[in-house]
Amino acid sequence: MKAIHALTRRASGIFCCLALATLALAQSEAPIRPEKTIVLFDGTSLEAFYAYLEHSKYEDPKGVFTIRDGLLRISGEEWGGITTKKAYRDYRLVVEWKWGGTTYPPREDRARDSGILVHGVGPDGAASNKWLESIEYQIIEGGTGDFILVAGEGRPSLTVEVREGPHGQLYWQEGGRRVRRDRGRFNWFGRDPEWKDVLGFHGRQGVERPAGEWNVSEVVCDGGAITAIVNGVVVNKGFDAEPSAGKIQIQSEGAEILIRRIELRPVR
C-alpha cells in the first residue's frame, strides 16, 4: 500500500511538472490577435484556462471552479482565479455572467465582488499572492466597469479622461481632464458617490442587473485603448495602457458567480 501511495504521489508530481512546463511554453509565445471568434468557455470545458489560488496554488481541492449544466461556477470560497494559458491582444472579450447566492468571509455581508483582469503579465500570484499584474475591469455590485490597476512585480498604467467627484474620486467623463495612473481606480461614469460596501448594493444610475439576473460584460482592447461595456452601455474608457497585451484572468473573490459564455472576438 505504501508503494502504491508513493507511486501516486510521484505520478501527481510528474503531471504537475508537465503542466507547468506546458504553461511556461505558452507564456513564451507572442500574444494572439483573434482573427475569428475564439470560444474560451463553451459550457463543457476549461481547457483554455488554468487555476491559481492563494493557498492551494495550481490545485483546487475545494472545487472553487466547477462546471454543471453548462455553467461555470466560481464559488468565491478561496481568493484567486482562472487564467488563460495563452496571452492575447486586440480583441473584444465577452463574458456573460450572473451572481449566485453564496458569499464567504470576510465578505459575506459585503457587496458581491469579482473581476476580469486583462493584460495579465508576470508570475502567477504576484499581486497579493492571488492574481496577475494586470488592468482590472471590476465586477462588483454598484461598481461594475471600474478600472483598477493591479500591481505585481511592476505597475500597469492607464490614462483616462475624468471628472473629479466627492473625496477626490475620479469618474470617467469623455472629454474630461486627462489623468494617468499606475495605481488606484478609475470609476465608471455613473458609480454612485454614496456607494457602500454592503450586500446587494445598487446605485441610482446602475446598469448592472441584480443578483440572479444575467449580465453581459464586454472589454474591448484595441492597441492601448480599453473600453468597458456593461449590458450594452459604454461605462468607461482608457487609453495608452501599459502593458497592452497579456493573459486574461477571472477572479474568485468571496462571492459565487456563474458564467455561461466567455469568448474573444476580433476588434473589427
pLDDT at 2: 40
Q: What is the pTM of this model?
A: 0.89
- Is pLDDT above 90 for 19? no
3-state secondary structure 81-138: EEEECCCECCEEEEEEEEEEEEECCCCCCCCCEEEEEEEEECCCCCECCCECEEEEEE
CB atoms within 10 A of CB 68: 8
Helix (H) or strand (E) holding 14: helix 2-27
Q: Cell for 91?
A: 480583441
Interval 27-41 mean pLDDT: 91
- Is pLDDT above 80 for 185? yes
- Is pLDDT above 60 for 16? no
pLDDT at 12: 41
As a whole number, the mean pLDDT across the chain is 92
- Is pLDDT above 90 for 31? yes
Interval 21-29 mean pLDDT: 57
Radius of gyration of the chain (CA): 19
- Is pLDDT above 60 for 153? yes
- Is pLDDT above 60 for 208? yes
Q: Cell for 208?
A: 448592472
pLDDT at 29: 83
- Is pLDDT above 70 for 71? yes
pLDDT at 38: 98
Q: Cell for 197?
A: 460596501
Q: To 5 degrees, how large is the angle CA 149–CA 237–CA 247?
A: 50
Q: To 5 degrees, how large is the angle CA 76–CA 105–CA 213?
A: 45
Residue of 42 and 2 predicted with greater confidence: 42
CA distances from residue 183 to 103, 151, 155, 197, 256 in whole angstroms, order as listed: 27, 7, 7, 20, 27
Residues 106-143 pLDDT 10s: 999 999 999 999 999 999 999 999 999 999 999 999 99
Interval 187-203 mean pLDDT: 95
Residues 56-65 pLDDT 10s: 999 999 999 9
pLDDT at 6: 40
Could you give the strand order of the β-sheet that contains 113-121, starting from the edge strand earlier in sequence?
A: 49-53, 80-84, 247-252, 113-121, 133-140, 147-150, 184-186
Q: How confident is the model at residue 22 (pLDDT cuts 50, 70, 90)?
A: low
- Is pLDDT above 90 for 26? no
pLDDT at 206: 87
How many Å from the N-terminal Cα to the C-terminal Cα in the chain?
Answer: 59
Interval 7-35 mean pLDDT: 59
Is the separation of the CB atoms in 134 and 120 below 8 Å? yes
Q: Is 206 helix (H, G, I), strand (E, B) or coil?
A: coil
For residue 255, the 8-state DSSP code is E
- Is pLDDT above 60 for 37? yes
pLDDT at 268: 82
> How much of the chain exceeds pLDDT 90, in percent?
87
CA distances from residue 256 to 6, 74, 75, 190 in whole angstroms, order as listed: 36, 6, 4, 25
Cβ-based neighbours of 202, under 8 Å, separated by 6 or more: 141, 142, 208, 210
Of 236, 203, 207, 202, whose CA–CA distance to 219 is shortest?
A: 236
